[in-house]
Amino acid sequence: MSDCIFCKIAGGEIKTDFIYEDETVVAFRDLNPQAPEHILIVPKKHVAKIIDFSADDKNLAAHIFVDVVEEIAKKIGVDEKGFRLVINTGEEGGQTVGHLHVHLIGGRKMTWPPG
C-alpha cells in the first residue's frame, strides 16, 4: 500500500536496520521502545490486521510463530529469560499502524494486566 509506513519500511523506501529479514518478513526495532528489547515483526505483504489473514496466509502466520519469533528471541538473548508477544488489533486494541505487526518485547520483567 503506497501510503503505509510499514510497507515503505519493508520495501526499503524508508531506510531501516533490519534485525531479521527473509522473503516474506522483516523485523526491526520499535521507534518508541517500551522495554530494553522491543522488536516489530512485520509481514512484507500488506495485511491490515490479524483477522484479515486469509487461508492463503496460513504458511506466513505459521512461519512467523514457528520460525521467526524463535530466531529473533535467540538473536537478542531473551529465549531463556522470556519475552512477550503482542498484536494490538483495531482501535480498542490500541493498534496505531494499520499494517499487521507482532511486537516482541523483552529485557525486563513484564507486568499483568497490560494497560
User: Contact residues for ligand 5GP (CB under 6 A)?
Assistant: 5, 28-32, 40, 88, 94-97
Between 14 and 59, CB nearer to ligand 5GP: 14
Note whether 37 and 106 are within 8 A (CB): yes
Query: If binding is defined by CB under 5 A, does position 86 make contact with Zn ion?
Result: no
7 binds Zn ion (CB under 5 A): yes
What is the closest distance, in whole angstroms, from the C-beta atom of residue 67 to ligand 5GP in the complex? 22
- Please report the sign of the dihedral spanned by the C-alpha atoms of residue 27, residue 33, residue 34, residue 37: positive
- Considering the complex, state which of residue 73 and residue 100 has its C-beta at the smaller distance from Zn ion: 100
Q: Output 78 or 101, the one with its CB closest to Zn ion.
A: 101
Catalytic residues: 101
β-bridge mates for residue 27, sequence order: 20, 41
Q: 42 pairs with which residues across the strands?
A: 26
Q: Give the cell for residue 91.
A: 482501535
Residues 6+ positions from 115 with CB-CB distance below 8 Å: none
Listed ranges 16-24, 25-33, 76-84, 99-107: which one lies at the site for Zn ion (CB under 5 A)? 99-107
Cα dihedral 108/40/96/16 (nearest 10): 120
Give the footprint of Zn ion on this chain (CB under 5 A). 1, 4, 6-7, 46, 99
